[in-house]
Amino acid sequence: MPFIDVMLVLLSIVLTVSTFIAQGKIKVDLPSATSAIVKEEFQAPPLELIIGEDDKLYINDKEVTIEQFQARVILLRNSDEIVILGDKVSSFGRFIDIIDVLKNKGHENIQIVTKHEKSKK
């Protein structure tokens, strides 16, 4: 078997695997804040909500509607942690929709994730 054939097979395997890896996460450009807490070890919460730059909602990397989000929140205990990651260009209205759903449920264990920015003194 020629060496070039082996290399082509290996190249196709690498390209196939890399596409699966790239599809795993939603790209979010987080806003930055000087008061952001840097966490070295981040435990996976029961619910990670992402607001994309196009205002689409994702729960644990799966796209959902606001109604599906409401149904999911009803199943959570008020003590369960919800982590919100919002793209810095997403609309504030979408963020308010999310907070409204959580407030109506009485849910208060919410963490809003930002990038840490060094103080500008």
pLDDT in tens, 1-15: 677 777 777 777 766
Number of structural domains found in the chain: 1
Q: How confident is the model at residue 20 (pLDDT cuts 50, 70, 90)?
A: very low
Q: What is the pLDDT of residues 56-103, one digit of tens each?
A: 899 888 889 999 999 988 888 888 888 888 888 888 889 889 889 988
Q: Does 38 map to a domain?
A: yes
CATH of the domain at 68: 3.30.420.270
Q: Does 13 map to a domain?
A: no
Q: Does 91 map to a domain?
A: yes
Closest-CA residue to 28 (of 64, 56, 70): 56
φ/ψ (deg, to 5) at 83 = -110, 130
Residue 67: the pLDDT is 92
Q: Which domain holds residue 89?
A: 26-116
Distance in angstroms (rounded) separating the CA atoms of residues 52 and 89 = 8
Q: What is the pLDDT of residues 33-64, one digit of tens each?
A: 665 555 544 455 568 888 888 888 998 888 89
Residue 2: the pLDDT is 72
Residue 38: the pLDDT is 54
Q: Does 11 map to a domain?
A: no
* Residue 112, pLDDT above cutoff 70: yes
Q: Token digits for 18?
A: 């890399």
For the whole model, what pTM was predicted? 0.62
SS3 of residue 104 by DSSP: helix
DSSP lists the bridge partners of residue 64 as: 57
Q: Does 103 map to a domain?
A: yes
Q: Does 87 map to a domain?
A: yes
